[in-house]
Amino acid sequence: MPLTSLVCSITTSLTMGPARSTNTMRRRLLTWFEQNARDLPWRRTRDPYAIWISEVMLQQTQVETVKPYYRDFIRRFPTTRHLARARLDTVLKLWEGLGYYRRAHHLHQAARIIVRDLHGVLPRTRQGLMALPGVGRYTAGAIASIAWDQAEPVVDGNVTRVLCRVFVVQDDPRQRSTRERLWSIATDLIGAGRAGDLNQALMELGATLCLPRRPRCPECPLRALCKARGRGLQEELPMHARRRPLPCHTVAIGVIFKGGEVLIDKRRPDGLLGGLWEFPGGKRQGRESLEATLRREIREELGIRIKVRHPLMRVHHAYTHFRVRLHVFECDYVGGRPRCRACTAFRWVRPGQLRRYAFPVANQKIIAAIESQDRVPRERGVGTESPG
């Protein structure tokens, strides 16, 4: 064979090989998804608004957790205009317990922008979607591909795991260079047509078969194409640097009574758990006693004096990047006019009215203790929550 023909033959095989592999992977994923896709409420619609809500709720949150929140949210706010007209407190109350509350703030802000500037219609391009508060590369790609079948890739935690194994990516996906490589792979997988189904197939595969531990490889439609499985590396990928232990903060919380009412205050909107109501208190400094911590924090936060009576309960709670140990005390209001020094609002509320307000999960356990007849101090269960 002439040298020129040999070079052309090698070039063709190198070019066509990956393309055939990509086409085979795409075809197998779509066939598997048609036969195995879970029946999820947000998959029964092509409404861009509903898809947007579901994708935001699903960020770092499990499907089974999201289902009831999604149904309630869409029932309460069926369109962008309904969401834009709502009060933020109403939105946060409906979001209560879902975690990552910054998502609710961003949805509300974006809805108002869409109604005010875009006639109530979501942008149809990735760039237009990413101009909205809280919409990043992944969310924009998911909405554009699922709602309008645009050839936009997605890379979330599930997709990352699938791609790292199938293409044996042996670098930490939290590194920027690795993330860009994964986005490039995902872009190559998106073909002409059915981009939304393909993206959902990748996410579904990661959620149901390509699991973090004990992946169900014999059932995987990509098992013959998975390079990690071929090398026996499927349980070692994706690679992650060892996580440091979460720091733990000791916090004193006051359930402050005046007559038959309890004092609550509202967190600033731009911080952790922004816009939610809470029982006032704060972190212990140095070696000060919990009682001293509480008196100081209440004075700094609200400018009032209290009498710390006795412990009510303790709550251990984990957030994404830290843990807290809440020491909750029953207190009496002594004097001073409350004013917001480290909050945006305060209210005196009867215990039976507390459920009307949006509280973080840890504070909801305190409400349950207040409502109960048994106020004997006890250790409550450990919870987990995603902040902000």
Catalytically active residues are: 55
User: ∠ CA 177-197-180 to the nearest 5 degrees?
Assistant: 5
- Residue 117 and residue 144: Cα distance in Å, rounded? 19
- Residue 237 and residue 161: Cα distance in Å, rounded? 7
DSSP letter for 31, please. H
Who contacts 255 (Cβ-Cβ below 8 Å, separation ≥6)? 262, 279, 312, 328, 329, 330, 331, 366, 370
Structure tokens given for 344: 């945006």
Nearest Cα to Cα of residue 301 among 350, 330, 333, 344: 344
Q: Which amino acid is at 70?
A: Y
Cβ proximity of 366 and 279 under 8 Å: yes
- Residue 226 and residue 234: Cα distance in Å, rounded? 9
Structure tokens given for 107: 């949805």
Using CA atoms, how far residue 267 sits from 248, 273, 340, in Å, is 21, 7, 10
- Residue 253 and residue 241: Cα distance in Å, rounded? 35
Q: Which amino acid is at 260?
A: G
Among the residues of 59-194, which ranges form H helices? 63-76, 80-85, 88-95, 102-117, 126-130, 137-148, 157-166, 176-189
Longest dimension (CA), the chain: 99
Who contacts 6 (Cβ-Cβ below 8 Å, separation ≥6)? none
Indicate the length of the chain as a whole number. Answer: 388
* Helix (H), strand (E) at residue 325: strand 323-335
Cβ proximity of 185 and 163 under 8 Å: yes
